[in-house]
Amino acid sequence: MKKLLPVALGFLLAFSLSASLAFSAEEQHWGYSGAYSPENWHKADPSFAMCKEGKNQAPINIEPRYDVALPALELRYGRKGETVLNNGHTIQVPFSNGNSLTVAGGAVYSLQQVHFHTPSENTLAGRSFLLEAHFVHQDENGNMLVLAVFYKDGEKNPGLEPLWAAMPQAAGRTAKLTEKFDPMSILPASLDYIYFNGSLTTPPCWEGVRWCALKTPLTVSQDQAQALRNAMKGPNNRPVQPVNARPVLN
Ligand SMILES: [Zn+2]
């Protein structure tokens, strides 16, 4: 009996461990800590190979290398967000068509969703920020453009409040917003930006994503950043990736 007990316990442990792994593989699959943290995303699924093999991955440490006359960005965000989702990796507000970003003389992109990372994923000349928002857009050919906005440690950001008040604590939950979310309310007045080619910063890490990082940061309070960290059960930023041969345009 004394010899059997450890075996039985071992079996039970192995069983519950594999059950929880199966659950996490299905529900979570990858994360920012644990077995499938960013350096191991490619091991979580064969379709995540680009997370390791890509040469144009995001985020990066943004150090502009070329001064060029970048085309101006024009935003027409008329539609407000009505729900907020906790997908286990971020807090996200979906948008139906109606909010557009135009690169002067170029493509028109439609805002798909806005989500958040704490601390920031990209860094600006080595500087990390408390929060970064990603405004994810797509044009009619499926090309993606992410508008990135930084928030430094400071005053509470009032534009975030409708989301933060309703933010679900459990992964997989969506909440209806009591007060609608205006995406313009968390953007700086100046849309001056730095441009680089990159990828999704989450699996499957697909490349060919156009990145416009706004130069002017807004503020966020420590309490607001902490509230997002609590809902995410920790930080939700992928570390910066090698720039390699990419030009970073200013
Ligand atoms: Zn993101």
The Å distance, Cα 155 to ligand 1 centre, comes to 23
> Domain coordinates of the chain in residue numbers?
1-30, 42-232
CB distance 30 to 220 below 8 Å: no
The Å distance, Cα 138 to ligand 1 centre, comes to 14
The Å distance, Cα 9 to ligand 1 centre, comes to 42
For every one of its 250 residues, what pLDDT tens digit does the chain have, with 9 covering 90 and above?
444 444 444 444 444 343 334 344 344 589 999 999 999 999 999 999 999 999 999 999 999 888 899 999 999 999 999 999 999 999 999 999 899 999 988 899 999 999 999 999 999 999 999 999 999 999 999 999 999 999 999 999 999 999 999 999 999 999 999 999 999 999 999 999 999 999 999 999 999 999 999 999 999 999 999 999 999 999 999 999 999 999 999 9
Q: Which fold has domain 42-232?
A: Carbonic Anhydrase II (3.10.200)
- Residue 89 falls in the annotated catalytic set: yes
Residues whose Cβ atom is located within 5 A of ion ligand 1: 134, 201
Q: Locate all alpha helices (DSSP H) within 82-233, ordered by sequence.
A: 161-166, 222-232
The first and second tokens of residue 97, run together, are 């068509």
pTM over 0.75: yes
**Beta bridge partners of residue 175, listed in sequence order:** 84
Q: Is 191 exposed, middle or buried (0-12, 13-18, 19+ CB in 10 A)?
A: middle
Tokens 């024009």 locate to 74
The Å distance, Cα 134 to ligand 1 centre, comes to 5
The Å distance, Cα 116 to ligand 1 centre, comes to 6
Catalytic residue among 42, 89, 117, 134: 89
